[in-house]
């Protein structure tokens, strides 16, 4: 059997200012010795919603190339992996500690990350690709039923629609936070109604105050197989644009939004969204999602080159 190679692993909690909250992330450093199959196996081993692998950048001036894996599939783009990996690169000195911004290479292309040190806690902001609005689903009763709700829980005059900035989500606006908490994540029920629409993960939310949203994300029926995600940065950028587009958040030249997510599952997260509108256009010309990161542990991963072997960290 081939000898073990050892990889440094950082474990952080993202979109929180306290450990053991937010969305946990494992970051494997100097991962260019790992095959995609090994990366997928490691992601199954951590069993987190996402694990990232840091590779050398392919373009001069970029900080790193980052591959993102759920336990079941690789993703082209994701929010808490981008913010969390960016924080680790700063903490490890791979990105200069005084850097104001840097670029990560992901499946969707270059993703700019901005470092905000203006407050008591350092916050990282990722820039989303442009927002795109997709299919509007007319099966409102069926979707409500699949979520364990009724049509009375659906926000009036707001469509149920697929929206994306790289990863498509189905957005379902509800009447209040109690309705959001009452929803049930059932892979069988959601598959039955969404199979004909490509099985997008479902992002349900309610407006709960001025520029504040209360959110959950269900994906047991999707390629990710994630029953519920504590904080979904890739969905939060489109969420902000969607909420403004349909009047749940007031439009302005600059719109700051806080989305609380993960509370129902005991991993309270606060995802910050910043939208910039040029001349109050219909769609934002800049979407940023940001948050804080807390370190939890550092580990060493020992992996053999044998494809049939297991991880022995």
Catalytic residues, by residue number, are 50
Distance CA 99, CA 73 (A): 32
Phi-psi region of 242 (alpha: psi -120 to 50; beta: other; left: phi over 0): alpha
Contact 276, 286 (CB under 8 A): yes
DSSP letter string over 215-282? EEEEETTSTT-EEEES--HHHHHHHHHHHHHTTSS---SEEEEEEEESTTTT--EEEEEEEE-GGG-S
C-alpha–C-alpha distance, residues 154 and 170, integer Å: 14
Q: How far apart are CA 33 and CA 15, in angstroms?
A: 30
3-state secondary structure of 141: helix
Q: What is the DSSP letter of 305?
A: S
Q: State whether residue 183 is helix, strand or coil.
A: coil
Whether 71 and 80 have beta carbons less than 8 Å apart is answered as: no
Q: With contact defined as beta carbons under 8 Å apart, do 234 and 165 qualify?
A: yes
């Amino acid at each position: 059997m081939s000898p073990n190679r050892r990889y440094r692993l950082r474990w952080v909690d993202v979109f929180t200012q306290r450990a053991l909250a937010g969305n946990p992330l494992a970051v494997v450093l100097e991962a260019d010795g790992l095959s995609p199959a090994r990366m997928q196996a490691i992601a199954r081993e951590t069993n987190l919603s996402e694990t990232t692998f840091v590779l050398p950048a392919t373009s001069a001036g970029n900080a790193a190339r980052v591959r993102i894996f759920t336990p079941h599939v690789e993703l082209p783009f994701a929010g808490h992996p981008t913010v969390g990996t960016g924080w680790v690169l700063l903490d490890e000195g791979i990105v200069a500690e005084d850097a104001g911004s840097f670029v990560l290479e992901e499946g969707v292309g270059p993703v700019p990350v901005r470092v905000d040190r203006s407050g008591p806690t350092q916050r990282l902001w990722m820039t989303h690709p442009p927002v795109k609005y997709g299919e509007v689903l007319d099966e409102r009763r069926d979707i409500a039923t699949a979520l364990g709700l009724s049509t009375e829980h659906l926000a009036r005059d707001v469509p149920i629609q697929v929206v994306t900035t790289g990863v498509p989500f189905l957005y379902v606006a509800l009447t209040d936070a109690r309705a959001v908490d009452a929803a049930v994540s059932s892979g069988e029920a959601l598959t039955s109604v969404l199979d004909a629409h490509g099985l997008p993960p479902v992002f349900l939310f309610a407006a709960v105050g001025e520029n504040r949203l209360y959110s959950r994300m269900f994906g047991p029926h999707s390629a990710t197989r994630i029953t519920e995600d504590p904080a979904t940065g890739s969905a939060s950028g489109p969420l902000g644009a969607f909420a403004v587009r349909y009047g749940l958040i007031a439009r302005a030249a600059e719109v700051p939004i806080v989305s609380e997510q993960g509370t129902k599952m005991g991993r309270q997260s606060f995802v910050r969204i910043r939208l910039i509108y040029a001349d109050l256009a219909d769609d934002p010309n800049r979407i940023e999602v940001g948050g804080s990161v807390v370190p939890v542990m550092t580990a060493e991963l020992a992996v053999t080159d044998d494809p049939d072997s297991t991880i022995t960290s």
